[in-house]
Amino acid sequence: MTDEKTSPNTAEQEHGETTATVEAPVKLQQHVEIRDIGPCKKHIKVTVERKDIDDRFSEKISELVADANVSGFRPGKAPRRIVERRFHREVADQVKSEVLLASLQQLAEDHDIAPLSAPNIDPSNIELPRQGPLVYEFEVEVRPHFDLPNYKGLKIRRPVHTFTDEEVAQEERRLLTPYGQIVPKPEGDAQIGDLVIVDAVIKAGDHAIGQLNEATLRVNKQLAFKDGIADNFAEQIKGAKAGDVREVDIKLSSAAADPSLRGQMVKAIMTIKDVKKVILPELTPEFLNTTFGIKSPEQLRELIQVVLQRRLEYQQRQAARKQVLAQITAASTWELPPDLLRRQAHRAMARKIMEMRADGISDEEIQARRRLLEQDILQSTAQALKEHFVLQKIAEVEKIDITDEDLNEEIERIAEQEGESPRRVRARLEREDLLDALAAEMIERAALDLILNNAEYEDVPLGQEDQPAVSMIEAQAIPGEIHDPTAEPPAEPSPTE
């Protein structure tokens, strides 16, 4: 093979058109077989023709002949056959690596394969044959294939709401509660925002499976345990006074310690030991300035209106996401393998958290919503991945991308929102391996904005289910080791011989 450096066409390479022709990589002659072996999984077999291997091998040997040091010969004077025999293994390893890399790049360019993770290829297990083609096989997880219907002009029901003075007062109370003074409420009559101290026995049927002692619970619509949710906690506990016994329904999560009870409904028999209320702090200029950076109760109300509006906008976007996904995937079969869901769970959660932060949701509310998502993390991951695949495909069709400048601007915005320096925010994202997740969330947000800007809206009242108010307790409904649904299942024991 003629060395390009000494080719008579070298002078012509000064011209752009000729340079492009000479520098264009020579395509491998390879045959590719692709077959589905499960949801989002393909088996790929690649056969690279012998001529491509021989050509590269010959080129490498020619380079070595020019300056190889072989015992008994002056540098560069050893016969080609001796150089080839002496350096065959080293050259074979180089050629194998180069051919594999070129083959995989060509595979990605020539075939519509969007891998979700690195293919399970171990080059050390691939042998470069002395004769015949190079054949290698591997399995890879890929994004699901589906057709996008028209996503412009979608009809979307948009929840709308005008916040009442009572709702503003409730949000003000929620905002001020952490700075208040907890005092007894002798008359009882537990209401939203109050605290109840309870002993509880958790029962599955008539069988006691757990208990709480002197647990302090804030009365909110929902109560989130580490392994379950009491969806109607406020409704079932409101009005209680010391000495009362209340039954609270808890739906156990997929993380519950007892496998037979995961996803089941159990009851907490709660004995009310005490009811307390919070006396809110006085709204002095000093307190408001130190705590919120504002000067007057009127400015606090304005801040609360901003918080409520941000929350409403987040709820509107979430409602839109669900409807967009439902309409676009109505004719598609979505089946995501459990092992994919396990591996993607933490990335999907990271994107959800970034999305909430981008929409101005407070850290307290993010933690509450995170606890709800974690109750059945594989189901919430499946939903998040479907959204991700749909929005990423729309972004590809619309050629939506982000630049380094876009990413820097987003990091600066996050830094300003969190009161940190951009350098510290970037360092944290890099340390937690979240820069890619941030970029993905930005692309998805832009794709969703495009859909929403072209949608037709029907305004509907905001439902109570869209306004979760969640209290959290760092306790389990069932004692024992919490199950991690995202962990790899234990390997099956080898069959006895």
- pLDDT 10s digits, 422-451: 999 899 889 888 888 889 889 988 998 999
Query: pTM higher than 0.85, yes or no?
Result: no
User: Using 50, 70 and 90 to split pLDDT, how confident is the model at 288?
Assistant: very high
What pLDDT, on the 0 to 100 scale, is given for residue 467? 57
Exposed / middle / buried, residue 223 (Cβ in 10 Å: 0-12, 13-18, 19+):
buried
- Report the range of poorest mean pLDDT among 16-25, 180-189, 370-379: 16-25
What pLDDT, on the 0 to 100 scale, is given for residue 23? 53
Strongest mean pLDDT among 91-105, 207-221, 364-378 = 207-221
Judged against a pLDDT cut of 50, whether residue 238 lies above it is answered with yes
Strand, helix or coil for residue 83: helix
Alpha helices in 157-253 (DSSP H): 165-176, 233-237
Q: For 356-386, give one letter per residue: b (16+ CB within 10 A) or e.
A: bbbbebeeebbebbbbbbbbbbbebbbbbbb
Mean pLDDT, range 171-184, rounded to an integer: 92
What pLDDT, on the 0 to 100 scale, is given for residue 60? 78
- CA 336 to chain CA centroid, Å, is 15
Judged against a pLDDT cut of 60, whether residue 154 lies above it is answered with yes
What pLDDT, on the 0 to 100 scale, is given for residue 160? 92
User: Using 50, 70 and 90 to split pLDDT, how confident is the model at 493?
Assistant: low
The domains of the chain, with CATH numbers, are: 4-141 (3.30.70.1050), 155-159+288-454 (1.10.3120), 181-279 (3.10.50.40)
CA–CA gap between residue 147 and residue 334 (Å, rounded) = 12
- CA 102 to chain CA centroid, Å, is 31
What pLDDT, on the 0 to 100 scale, is given for residue 300? 94
User: Using 50, 70 and 90 to split pLDDT, how confident is the model at 466?
Assistant: low
Percentage above 90 pLDDT, the chain: 37
Give every CB contact of residue 148 below 8 A, 6+ residues apart in sequence.
328, 390, 393, 394, 397
Judged against a pLDDT cut of 50, whether residue 374 lies above it is answered with yes
- 355, 353, 386: which is closest to 370 by C-alpha? 353
CA–CA gap between residue 436 and residue 69 (Å, rounded) = 47
Task: Give per-residue pLDDT as tens, 314-338.
Answer: 888 888 888 888 887 776 667 788 7
What pLDDT, on the 0 to 100 scale, is given for residue 6? 37
Q: Which stretch of DSSP H or E encloses residue 224?
A: strand 222-224
Judged against a pLDDT cut of 90, whether residue 353 lies above it is answered with no
Judged against a pLDDT cut of 90, whether residue 470 lies above it is answered with no
DSSP letter, residue 496: P
Judged against a pLDDT cut of 50, whether residue 301 lies above it is answered with yes
Residue that has been written with the tokens 């994202």 in this structure: 429
CA–CA gap between residue 399 and residue 109 (Å, rounded) = 17
CA–CA gap between residue 399 and residue 450 (Å, rounded) = 12
Q: Between 490 and 228, where is the model more confident? A: 228
Q: Which amino acid is at 486?
A: T
- Plot region of 53 (φ>0 → left; ψ -120 to 50 → alpha; else → beta): alpha
Exposed / middle / buried, residue 443 (Cβ in 10 Å: 0-12, 13-18, 19+):
buried
User: Using 50, 70 and 90 to split pLDDT, how confident is the model at 497?
Assistant: very low
- How many Å is the Cα radius of gyration of the chain? 31
Judged against a pLDDT cut of 70, whether residue 235 lies above it is answered with yes
- Report the range of poorest mean pLDDT among 206-210, 260-264, 317-321, 482-486: 482-486
- 184, 182, 176: which is closest to 284 by C-alpha? 176
- CA 403 to chain CA centroid, Å, is 20
Mean pLDDT, range 373-387, rounded to an integer: 84
Mean of the per-residue pLDDT values of the chain? 84
What pLDDT, on the 0 to 100 scale, is given for residue 464? 63
Tokens of 314: 């987040």
Q: Between 345 and 75, where is the model more confident? A: 345
Q: Between 81 and 236, where is the model more confident? A: 236
Judged against a pLDDT cut of 60, whether residue 376 lies above it is answered with yes
Tokens of 3: 């060395």
